[in-house]
Amino acid sequence: MAGASDPIDELHAITAGLRVYVERLVASGAVGLPAASAELIRERAAAAPVDAAPAPSVAEAPRAAPVAPAAPAPAPVAVPAPAPAIDRAQRVERLRVLSAEVAGCKRCGLHNGRTQTVFARGTGTSGLCFVGEGPGFDEDQQGYPFVGKAGQLLDKMIAAMGLERDEVYVANIVKCRPPNNRKPEIDEMAACMPYLAEQLELIAPQVIVALGATAVQGLLGTTEGITRMRGRWRLYKGRIAVMPTFHPAYLLRTPAAKREVWDDLQAVLRQMGRQVPARR
């Protein structure tokens, strides 16, 4: 009809006026519209015809009006405190019970040829744990890990780190000696790993040194060779630092590799926040 206002022009005018009004509200610190103004906007919107003309293109559309400042970020959610660590007496008792359980274990065929099980040695009070492969002849006879020639070399490695022998926890992937000191089979490792997992849960070491490929495989579930793995930090269960390095038995056969192992042990000390002693 002649003389009637164009609905699109009217909508543009309403939008422009609303933008100015909102800008004033923002400047004054308001965070919403008064009820009367909101009612007026609803009336205008209801009165505007919806099929008079197509919506303006993106090029024709007015810029979006500024809005009120964003609300502040929500307050941090309260995080439950970690469960209190068990005291020394409780830990010692639980390890004693676990050791007795291991002594009677028949989960795999290795129990048939053992003299006795080999559970662990040391207290772990230093925060350091060494994990090897399995008991050899001397360990099977005495009931403690790393007491043969390889164990004597391990003791020298511990001393070179400036630590006492008994303050380091030492255990193996399997608790029974494999025949002829062979590498443990996959099913044998799987049967024994829950014991080691509980030991590590109770000891809660800061760092684990995995001695050799079998230890790395048992702890991390990887079959990657120790030559490629050594010296590269890994994580046990996503929370305990693991340093793979060569087994002391390998060092007895390959003395030149001792330099690389010493490099790894220095990295362990730095990870633990300890000073590296000067080599004697």
| Domain end among 45, 71, 97 | 71
Query: How high is the pLDDT of residue 35?
Result: 44
Structural domain contains residue 277: no
Structural domain contains residue 279: no
Q: The domain spanning residue 144 has which CATH number?
A: 3.40.470.10
Q: Residue 162, by phi and psi: left (phi above 0), alpha (psi -120 to 50) or beta?
A: left
pTM score, two decimals? Answer: 0.70
Query: How high is the pLDDT of residue 87?
Result: 80
Provide the domain count of the chain. 2
Structural domain contains residue 199: yes
Structural domain contains residue 48: yes
- Sign, CA torsion 179/254/245/122: positive
> 104 with 233, same domain?
yes
> 33 with 66, same domain?
yes
First to last CA, the chain: 105
Q: Which residue has the tokens 């308001």?
A: 30
Query: How high is the pLDDT of residue 88?
Result: 83
> 18 with 156, same domain?
no
Structural domain contains residue 21: yes
> 108 with 52, same domain?
no
> 52 with 101, same domain?
no
Structural domain contains residue 79: no
Whole-angstrom distance, CA of residue 173 vs CA of residue 181: 13
> 67 with 108, same domain?
no
Query: Domain containing 10: what range?
Result: 1-71
pLDDT per residue as tens digits for the range 38-55? 444 445 444 444 444 444
pLDDT per residue as tens digits for the range 148-170? 999 999 999 999 999 999 999 99
| Domain end among 71, 99, 117 | 71
> 127 with 65, same domain?
no
> 110 with 211, same domain?
yes
Q: Give pLDDT < 50 ranges for the chain.
A: 1-3, 26, 28, 30-31, 33-42, 44-62, 64-83
